[in-house]
Amino acid sequence: MRSVTDEYESDLRDAPAWRALQWRARSVRTTSPLAVPVRKLRCTPVPGAGDPLRVGIFAGIHGDEPAGTLAAHQLATWAQTMPPQLAGYELHLYPVCNPTGLAAKTRHSRAGLDLNREFWCGSDQPEVKQLEAELRAERYDVIISLHEDDTSYGLYGFVSGGLLSEHLLEPALTAASQFLPRNQAPIIDGFPAFRGIIREGYRGVLSAPPEQRPRALEMVFETPVDAPLHLRVKASVVAVQTSLTAYRQLLAHGANL
């Protein structure tokens, strides 16, 4: 039987855009002992002024949340068109951070763990060790994690890392709300929220190394599982694209902040 991952990848390969654009991202496999290593897509950087802005997009760390994985693949295809919105960006995508969970369509990994509670606490899980090594080596300026929630009626997200992180999430939620409603509840997932933005979060989530300075801007984008899959994917894609534009505007106006 084909795994879910295989199905997604064959869908992607069959897409006309995929064939037409010719895949130029480099797929990197590390030497992890994992049976199914976490795959990394390093998109061709789009030339721009100044040092490249390094962005890591992480999806599928919960294996039962396929929208983020599909969105990451769509973003990879979009990046191959060298869009002006990506000028100056170096985009790295990790579409399937929990390969065994995705294959089994389970939140947890084959080891029975929620991998998104295992970061920076000495975890011996190979997926986590591999991703921690990536995060340490790449020192991303921006980290975006794509998730889905089966208890939320609408879009929301978490911000952490640098103080300006919510300036990425706010426009992302606004843009994505053309597809799905924003969750306006005062409490979401047990945390105080304001217009779909949560400033706290769980311990052990995927994030920049604790010692990294300056701190990365970090956001987690959540879509509601009850909505149609294609809308969850669209919302996720637009959220990432919008937050990248917002980041560039933040840097451009940095002197006034």
Q: Which amino acid is present at 136?
A: R
Phi, psi angles (nearest 5°) of residue 101: -70, -40
> Going by C-beta distance under 8 Å and a sequence separation of 6 or more, which residues neighbour residue 59?
65, 68, 69, 71, 72, 93, 94, 95, 96, 97, 145, 146
Q: Which amino acid is present at 162?
A: G
Toward Zn ion, which CB reaches closer, 108 or 139?
A: 108
Residue 62 within binding range of Zn ion, rule CB under 5 A:
yes
Structure token digits, residue 179: 């597809």
Toward Zn ion, which CB reaches closer, 38 or 79?
A: 38
CB of 185 to Zn ion, least distance (A): 18
Binding mask 121-150 for Zn ion (x = CB under 5 A): --------------------------x---
CB of 117 to Zn ion, least distance (A): 11
Residue 232 within binding range of Zn ion, rule CB under 5 A:
no
Pairing state between β 217-224 and 142-149 = parallel
Binding mask 63-92 for Zn ion (x = CB under 5 A): --x---------------------------
8 Å CB contact between 60 and 95 = yes
CB of 102 to Zn ion, least distance (A): 12
The residues of the shown chain that bind Zn ion, judged by CB under 5 A, are 62, 65, 147
